[in-house]
Amino acid sequence: MFYGQIPAIQLFLATATYLALSFVFGKKELLDAKFVFMSQYDLGYLYLAVYVICLGRFYIMANANSVRAGARLDRPDQHIYRSMDPKAKVDAPYVLMSNTGWAGKFNRAQRAAFNTDEAMPQFLANVLLAGAVFGPAVLVPVALSVYGRIKFAILYTENPSKRGDGFMPAMIGEQWTSGLTLFAAIKALGGSFIPF
């Protein structure tokens, strides 16, 4: 559904929007000028990179939702907690997230999704900034990050000790993108002082 039906619906709605703006509201010339600009400066890859990130996010949320039923957790609940002290009273001062069974799987799947959400604003900003300069090259670290985030979510859902195998590629991709933004800033600010 996330990689077939939803993209088809998205493209249908986007095409309908373009056609309506072009032929009903008379904006075809303006829109086409924008697409020529985007093509001339390789900005289409930038838009594709942002969309690839969204596809990865869709998958991570699907992963979290796939273990919801097994955990017997209905919405709006997002985490399952239990007292870790069998002698604790109802008003015990500490309650920790459940980390075993289906409840633990669900909590870890949610945590992977939330971890992705926490990094997303900064990552998207870096993708937009780096992509404006580096064009299609930004897809490489984006693909690495999305791959890592999906792997992180799957492995963390199964076993908390395995999450690093996915987290590391995600961090490399995200930090690579951040580095592209930093390089662009230094190069732009340094001007002729940067010899290459």
Domain ranges of the chain: 1-40, 42-190
Using a 10 angstrom Cβ sphere, with 0-12 exposed, 13-18 middle and 19 or more buried, the burial of residue 74 is exposed
Q: Count helices and strands (H / E) in the chain.
A: 7, 2
Cα angle, residue 58 at apex, residues 57 and 59 outer, rounded to 5°: 90
Q: Which pLDDT tens digit goes with each residue over 90-105?
A: 666 556 678 889 999 9
- Predicted local confidence at residue 11, as pLDDT: 87
Point out which residues pair with 96 in neighbouring strands: 82
- The residue-averaged pLDDT of 44-69 equals 88
Question: What's the token pair of residue 48?
Answer: 């594709």
Give residue 92's pLDDT: 60
Beta strands in the chain (DSSP E): 81-82, 96-97
Mean pLDDT, range 6-23, rounded to an integer: 89
State whether residue 75 is helix, strand or coil.
Answer: coil
Which numeric CATH code is attached to 42-190?
1.20.120.550
Burial (0-12, 13-18, 19+ Cβ within 10 Å), 25? exposed
